[in-house]
Structure 1
Amino acid sequence: MPPLLPVIFKLLLLPLFLWLWFDTSALNVSLYRWPALDFGRASSSGSRPAFSSSSSSPAAETVDPFNHRDRSDRFVKGTRPTLIKNATIFTGTADRLIVQGDIFVDKGIIQDFGDSLELNLLPPETSFVNARGAWLTPGLIDLSSQLGISAIPRIQVGADANSHKGPVVPWLRVIDAVSPQDEGFRLALASGVTTVKVNPGDQNVIGGQPAMIKTRRTHEGTPTSMQVDPQSEPWGLHHGCGDDLATYGMTKMDAVWALRSAYHDAQEQGAKLEELCEDAAMEHCPDVSLIGNDMRTHVMRGKAKISVHCDQVVDLDAWAQVSREFELPVTILHGAREVWLSTGLLNQTWHGPPVVALSVEHNSGKEEYRDSQFAARILSDANITIAIESGYPNLTPRTLAQGARQAYYYGLSENETLAAVTSVPAIAAGIAHRTGYIREGFDADLVLWDSHPLALGAKPRMVWVDGALQLNVSRQENSRTHHTKNLRAPSTPNWDYERASAIAHAGQQPLKPRFSTNDEVVFRNVSRVWIRDDDGELRRVFEAKDPRSNGIAVFSQGRLLCADMFCLNAGVGDTEVDLRGGVIMPGLLAYGQNIGMSRISNPLSTNLELELLLPVSDDNGGMPRAMDGLSLQTRKALEAYRSGITSAVLHLLPRRFHGLEVFGLSVAFRPGALHAMERGAIIQDITALHIKLSTIGITSQLAVLRRLLYGEIERDTDEGQWFKHASEGIIPLVVDVDSADIMALLLILKANVEDRIGSSMRLVFVGASEAHLLATEIGRANVGVILEEPHPLPLNWDSRRTLPPGKDDIIGVLQKHGVRVGSGSGSRFVLAEMVAEGIMDETQAFTVAGANLEALLGIRERNLDVVAYFGGGAFNLSGKAIAVASVQRAVVDIL
């Protein structure tokens, strides 16, 4: 028997040996290439296939010896270990994409995780978190941010973002300008963003060296200590192109010449350095140029990365040529508004296509005019790796997750969307050896969500950076916030037809309704029908108890005839539409959005309202009216109409009037109308008088406003008459203001005006970021508030005292004190986020984006239009607007 013991012992050890061999060999893959990841790309039918483990680039799934460490170089002494139990873990790795289980974090790194985690000896100081099935993801990574260099509250906008010392400044380093006190870092953490690539601005051909920053404030309190890896080599160079370079009066040809010239000089310097090294018989040439540490030389020798912000195809093509000419591999392409129009162009860049970091923001500027909400899906279908970026400070850190949800809504697959804000940006940024994934040995940058990360309203409950808990709102939740729910990704509509149309028409696809009719239209398989009655009150006409009891709704000349399970009015041969369980609900009202004026927002020739910026004579020629500049059938107006916005209130850009910023008189109209003379196109030609007040020069502004409202100046002019109407309460006076101090002064002025002339002013605050500070006084004064954001941010000095994330929302605070609140976002997605977050229910959402706005803006005619949504409703990701029924226009538009 004894001779058999060694054999038995070896047999027992064999499984362990095989496990170790396969486990380590599977991970022995090169790290430093950007991948074309296969995270379950959406199929052409619009369905979302399950994740395929056959990744097209195994480079995505990598670990190097760095991850065999048991302590992070960023570990903060005193940070307690944490055990998170019962989580739905998105790892980001192909072999184990989603794990139901536990995760143990200690010494700043992920020590272990899995579905059967066995930890016998936990440190006694370990913190325990029961996730109760909630989603846990790696911390979000934003590839395009100016956190720290465009710090908020802004005192001087963009002061440190761009250099004005010339178009080529490769020696500048972003890290030298990062302010750790930027409030944006706190907001980023509250949004689940744990790492950002801080770029210089895009106004230089070569703008300088970006920095990879973690959003956790360190004990040292220095920007250097916030870098992901302070000991690593500089990241590389960031480049701008296109219209952003107009700062230096450069044309596109000037910019490309400056780019070629810069790298030609670097090429010559590198050649001289190599020659010098050969003459000195040096075996290894140092990584410095003859003029010092010039990053261009590092880039050309493959020692650093390149990121480029380009939007238009013409600029992208020029960059592709330059990259081949100088053998410059582009790592990240930012912005890329038009790249979906020419996906093959990316293959022409040196060393293969870069990761495309798509911007969340969609507007109608010249460079963005052919942008498409379908770009992410189209690029994905072309096997281009996608990341999502926020572009902060143009947008807030919160919009990174919101932008991912919109990309998902318009067709990007679930897994690829999650990867687009975690693992893909980590790989592109060169930090995928330590973050962007949930793996043993990786930095413990984690986000525990209150629902599926792609669900509307999903918010981080807890956020860890380097294993240190940075955010915990679980204990701060109140009755207005929603709890763990919706653990599955929401269903989304099929956009195959619209996507194909966008491709076929190069981004200029027809947006007009497919047809309009005043005959009967029958909607079948309807789950709910809500309308507004003639008084504007919301009324529930029909609501099915379950899908088997869905009903029918019949419209004729835009008016509802019947809504029930069985409508006798349903004729034969009329237009029929199957809503597949969708709903019919009132249309939304947009305020302040430039959807009926400019066709392209930047060039003067297409933007009718820019004439107000031109010099004017002493005789101002009367109060400007938005009605006079209205331009219907613009792409922005039609896109809004197709999203469920059936009415809009538009004002002009401001002009100076006695030192006061005056927007003029607004107009209410229907964005789906053909022209101003069409029946029902103009709801009201004059609604309210709009002005803006800010801290700079406030004493002079208030002095002018006081005299205008008292009727002491300009009493015989058109401007004077309209301010008199405002003081008498004939029309509302809508003031764009954020500061609570200025709002308090306006409340005092309102009382003085009313006492003096015996009137009742209709005063409305717009923006009103600090309104919660005097909610009681605003309510008592019967003053309304129109919020442009449900969670106002301290973007400038006037709005520095906004409510912090995780506390009560400003809408709830104002409504609690009897303030009539309207939503000025004009976005169905923003309203849907508020409904999902529990800030309001659907009925309240229609009120703040409908009846309340109408009352605050002085609109007398109630908008009775309703929108039919296929597959869902206005406030979820499954709904898709496919028809609009208008009583006033007496038609049904089939979109």
Structure 2
Amino acid sequence: MNAQEILDECAALYTLPGPPKDFGERTVSDRFEPAAVPTLITNATIWTGNNNGTEVIHGGEIFLEGGLIKYVGDRVPSHFTTNNRVRSINAQLAWVTPAIVDMHSHLGVDSAPNLAGSADTNSMKALIQPWLRSLDGIDTHDESYPLSISGGIATALILPGSADAIGGQAFIIKLRDTKDRTPLSRVLEPPYSLLNGTRVDPTIPPRWRHMKHATGENPSTWYQGTRYNEARKLKLEQDAYCAKAQAHQWTGLPAQIPKNLKWEALVDVLRGRVKVNCHIYETTDFTSMVGLTNEFEFSIAAFHHAHEAYLVPETIKKVWGGVTPGVAVFATNARYKREAYRGTEFAPKILHEHGIPIAVKSDHSILDSRFLLISSKFAALRKALKGGLQGEIGQWYKAVAEGKIPLVVDVAKADHIATLLELKAEVDEYTGKSLRLTLTHATEAHLLAKQIAAAGPDVGVVLRPARQYPTVWDQKRVLPGPPLSAQSSVGVLTDANVTVAIGIEEGWQARNTRFDLAWAALEANGTLSRTEALAMGSSNLETLLGLEPQTDLVAYRGGDVFDLSSRVAAIISPARGFVDLI
């Protein structure tokens, strides 16, 4: 028996994870690739993340060396760049932002392309498997590494799936390639035991471990299968052993501390050395999980998916340990199964207001972590309108930016409409001309009627369909019109002096346009003249779509264009070169 080794091992059991004392003084990252040269980025628009995310440095500089960011600010001090190997990059005022950390990903274990031989998200061998490690299943040939990197993702927490109540241990990885080409070489701060099998210095704080738990539909049971009782028994045995060793009561003491490879990770959970990430949806499961943490005295780092978390924020705060867990949510992905039915895109705001930390994640490959959804679409549009495309398509976008032809955008959500208005203002300032912007669908445009009008006469709306319906979430905030609301979308927009037209969803609906115009005029409660109503299906539409005016005339008998009793009597069409008497 080596008494000192036992005492060191016992001391290590009670050491909580954290960085080494000299962590802030390091000059080289432990993941540094020697082939990487020092890099100076100049003339950049830098979003630093400081001041609650509001700080932006215009024309700033960044210096990187040894795998670390050595400086961010207006001008890099000269002593940083004396190395003649420094590579300089002029960002030309392009944005430089912190890279994105995806807190919930299955990249590498649910790899692309999807093949049975590389599917390692879940193990169906048992319900409780804390000994499994996502690291052992990470596929370095996953095609989505460069795709996710191109979307700004640099780091991801690779979780086991949620088919098991305890699916195993998770690992944080960097997505970039390494010279070793191994899964381990991608791991961020790997546990020391992974590097050489032992702790080099037992006085150094261990590194954080991570684990996946799951509740609800995916694992069919929870409490009966936790095995935390087994882990607690082992922990108590270790505590009793170490108490005797530290009291130097060696007589009759076994030569080794009690261990069990199956449950050692759960014991570390109970010792506060593992960040537990819990797949969860419903309020009833939050209640059960919070109760479990208090019974066995362990904390939760984050609840994932958590579609009903916004309903029970105070329950979440009762997790054992006194530290409120974070909540990692989808931005908009909800209602894909019963558990997710009550999800809302406003959950992050509600939870933030209750003091609960929020992260938005992808669950890659459920959602491709490459794309920042709507933001990436606006970024692409901004690039095109500011001369970022070449060739024939670049010429078309140049014509759009200069107001020669209209930009017609299919958009429903008010938030997205607001961003388009900001984009128009930015492009107008850049070109010195006025971009013609037509918003079609425009379901929630009534919420921004004043802002649309203020953007100028070159912005208009094509309501499609004429009578709005909340078909999808982005169309949720419809203005139904009388008798449910005093005004209709047409009325609100025309009152604000916005140019409005009416469109159709399918070709067969064109024949009913005149009746839709009559309906729109009636719902406007007398604020629309018959001429203005007719313009919404004719001249306004031509203007908003950039069409040449059509001078066709139609004669009716038995009433006018808006009457159900009227019938077409004659058509005079200079555009088509005929007169038709019916």
Query: Contact (CA 8 Å) 1:209, 1:234: kept in 2 or not?
Result: no
State which of 282, 295, 301 in structure 1 corresponds to 2:265.
Answer: 295
Distance 1:560 1:495 in 2: 17
Return the offset for 1:585. 8.8
Q: Residues 570 and 161 (structure 1 numbering): CA distance in 2 closer, same or farther, change over 3 Å?
A: same
1:144 aligns with 2:114: no
Q: Which residue of 2 aligns with 1:200?
A: 160
Distance 2:178 2:388 in 1: 24
> SS at the partner of 2:96?
strand
Letter in 1 for 2:342: R
Q: Which residue of 2 aligns with 1:354?
A: 325
> SS at the partner of 1:116?
coil
Describe how 1:310-325 pairs up with structure 2 within 5 A: 310-325=280-295
1:391 aligns with 2:363: yes
Q: Which residue of 2 aligns with 1:269?
A: 234
Query: Contact (CA 8 Å) 2:99, 2:152: kept in 1 or not?
Result: yes
State which of 173, 184, 206 in structure 2 corresponds to 1:224.
Answer: 184
Q: Which residue of 1 aligns with 2:513?
A: none
| Higher Rg of the two aligned structures | 2
Q: Which residue of 1 aligns with 2:225?
A: 258
State which of 450, 458, 465 in structure 1 corresponds to 2:379.
Answer: 458
Q: Which residue of 2 aligns with 1:240?
A: 214
Q: Which residue of 1 aligns with 2:496?
A: 525
Letter in 2 for 1:74: R
TM-score, length basis structure 1: 0.41
> SS at the partner of 1:151?
coil
Distance 1:115 1:491 in 2: 31
Query: Contact (CA 8 Å) 2:107, 2:144: kept in 1 or not?
Result: yes
Q: Residues 288 and 511 (structure 1 numbering): CA distance in 2 closer, same or farther, change over 3 Å?
A: farther
Distance 2:326 2:113 in 1: 32
> Deviation digits for residues 566-618 of structure 1, max 9, x if unmatched?
975499xx9xxxxxxxxx999xxxxxxxxxxxxxxxxxxxxxxxxxxxxxxxx
> SS at the partner of 1:457?
helix
1:375 aligns with 2:347: yes
Distance 1:333 1:78 in 2: 39
Q: Residues 339 and 84 (structure 1 numbering): CA distance in 2 closer, same or farther, change over 3 Å?
A: same
Query: Contact (CA 8 Å) 1:308, 1:330: kept in 2 or not?
Result: yes
TM-score, length basis structure 2: 0.62
1:106 aligns with 2:65: yes
Letter in 2 for 1:334: H
Distance 1:78 1:144 in 2: 30
Return the offset for 1:271. 0.3
Distance 1:527 1:69 in 2: 60
Letter in 1 for 2:500: V
Return the offset for 1:558. 3.7
Query: Contact (CA 8 Å) 2:173, 2:187: kept in 1 or not?
Result: yes
> SS at the partner of 1:169?
coil
> SS at the partner of 2:266?
helix
Return the offset for 1:135. 2.0
Q: Which residue of 1 aligns with 2:44?
A: 87
Query: Contact (CA 8 Å) 1:455, 1:490: kept in 2 or not?
Result: no
Q: Which residue of 1 aligns with 2:77?
A: 118
Describe how 1:482-561 pairs up with structure 2 within 5 A: 514-516=480-482, 522=491, 523-532=494-503, 555-558=517-520
Q: Residues 168 and 491 (structure 1 numbering): CA distance in 2 closer, same or farther, change over 3 Å?
A: farther
Q: Residues 238 and 211 (structure 1 numbering): CA distance in 2 closer, same or farther, change over 3 Å?
A: same
Query: Contact (CA 8 Å) 1:455, 1:489: kept in 2 or not?
Result: no
Query: Contact (CA 8 Å) 1:236, 1:299: kept in 2 or not?
Result: no
Distance 1:534 1:512 in 2: 17
Return the offset for 1:478. 4.2
- Structure 1 vs Structure 2: percent identity of aligned residues? 26
Query: Contact (CA 8 Å) 2:209, 2:273: kept in 1 or not?
Result: no
> Deviation digits for residues 356-405 of structure 1, max 9, x if unmatched?
10123223410111111211111112121110010111111124x22xx6
Query: Contact (CA 8 Å) 1:333, 1:355: kept in 2 or not?
Result: yes
Return the offset for 1:66. 1.5
Q: Which residue of 2 aligns with 1:329?
A: 299
Q: Residues 371 and 105 (structure 1 numbering): CA distance in 2 closer, same or farther, change over 3 Å?
A: same
Q: Which residue of 1 aligns with 2:452?
A: none
Q: Which residue of 1 aligns with 2:431?
A: none
Return the offset for 1:74. 1.3
Q: Which residue of 2 aligns with 1:162?
A: 122
Q: Residues 287 and 112 (structure 1 numbering): CA distance in 2 closer, same or farther, change over 3 Å?
A: farther
Return the offset for 1:94. 3.5
Return the offset for 1:127. 2.4
Distance 1:162 1:387 in 2: 24
Letter in 2 for 1:147: L
Q: Residues 536 and 162 (structure 1 numbering): CA distance in 2 closer, same or farther, change over 3 Å?
A: same
> SS at the partner of 2:213?
strand
Distance 1:304 1:366 in 2: 31
> Deviation digits for residues 120-142 of structure 1, max 9, x if unmatched?
54433322222233321111110
Distance 1:340 1:131 in 2: 41
> Deviation digits for residues 669-718 of structure 1, max 9, x if unmatched?
xxxxxxxxxxxxxxxxxxxxxxxxxxxxxxxxxxxxxxxxxxxxxxxxxx
> SS at the partner of 2:40?
strand
Q: Residues 529 and 514 (structure 1 numbering): CA distance in 2 closer, same or farther, change over 3 Å?
A: closer
Distance 2:256 2:364 in 1: 33
Distance 1:82 1:530 in 2: 53
> Deviation digits for residues 424-482 of structure 1, max 9, x if unmatched?
xxxxxxxxxxxxxxxxxxxxxxxxxxxxxx57433799xxxxxxxxxxxxx99645589
Q: Residues 386 and 156 (structure 1 numbering): CA distance in 2 closer, same or farther, change over 3 Å?
A: same
Q: Which residue of 1 aligns with 2:139?
A: 179
> SS at the partner of 1:556?
helix
Letter in 1 for 2:223: V
Distance 1:398 1:529 in 2: 37
> SS at the partner of 2:139?
coil
> Deviation digits for residues 74-132 of structure 1, max 9, x if unmatched?
11112122211122222223488433311111221111121233325443332222223
Describe how 1:587-598 pairs up with structure 2 within 5 A: none
Return the offset for 1:73. 1.6
Distance 1:534 1:319 in 2: 47
Distance 1:329 1:123 in 2: 47
Structure 2: state its 5+ residue gaps: 1-15, 193-206, 402-415, 423-443, 448-472, 511-515, 534-539, 547-562, 565-582
Return the offset for 1:157. 8.6
Distance 1:177 1:206 in 2: 16
Letter in 1 for 2:519: Q
Return the offset for 1:160. 0.9
Return the offset for 1:312. 0.7
Higher helix share: 2
Distance 2:42 2:20 in 1: 25
Q: Residues 266 and 526 (structure 1 numbering): CA distance in 2 closer, same or farther, change over 3 Å?
A: farther
Q: Which residue of 2 aligns with 1:78?
A: 35
Q: Residues 308 and 287 (structure 1 numbering): CA distance in 2 closer, same or farther, change over 3 Å?
A: farther
Query: Contact (CA 8 Å) 2:31, 2:67: kept in 1 or not?
Result: yes
Q: Which residue of 1 aligns with 2:275?
A: 305
> Deviation digits for residues 234-255 of structure 1, max 9, x if unmatched?
622110110001xxxx3xxx42
How many residue pairs get aligned? The number is 418
Structure 1: state its 5+ residue gaps: 1-30, 34-61, 406-453, 462-474, 497-506, 540-553, 575-583, 587-841, 845-886, 889-895
Distance 1:282 1:459 in 2: 68
RMSD between superposed Cα atoms in Å: 4.6
> Deviation digits for residues 648-684 of structure 1, max 9, x if unmatched?
xxxxxxxxxxxxxxxxxxxxxxxxxxxxxxxxxxxxx
Describe how 1:847-886 pairs up with structure 2 within 5 A: none
> Deviation digits for residues 632-662 of structure 1, max 9, x if unmatched?
xxxxxxxxxxxxxxxxxxxxxxxxxxxxxxx
Query: Contact (CA 8 Å) 1:555, 1:561: kept in 2 or not?
Result: no
Distance 2:23 2:149 in 1: 26
> Deviation digits for residues 798-855 of structure 1, max 9, x if unmatched?
xxxxxxxxxxxxxxxxxxxxxxxxxxxxxxxxxxxxxxxxxxxx979xxxxxxxxxxx
Distance 1:155 1:277 in 2: 48
